[in-house]
Amino acid sequence: MKVDKTKCMYCGSCVGTCPKNAIFLEETNIVFNRELCIECGVCEKVCPVGAITAE
């Protein structure tokens, strides 16, 4: 998964919906743990500004 940092508002919507807890909010940065991420797309669907896309 990829985050467009020009669109991301760092709202944290994606963090709470990840079934594998693979997304973290660090100050003004969204971090994906690629080892935990199963690329299910839930975070992409809940992002209110469309900042997350599959790579």
**43-53 tens-digit pLDDT:** 999 999 999 99
CATH architecture of 2-53: 2-Layer Sandwich (3.30)
Give dist(CA 39, CA 28) in Å, integer: 22
Among 38, 40, 55, 52, residue whose Cα is nearest residue 10 = 52
**9-26 tens-digit pLDDT:** 999 999 999 999 999 998
More confident site: 54 or 48: 48
Domain spans, the chain: 2-53
Give dist(CA 27, CA 35) in Å, integer: 22
pTM: 0.84
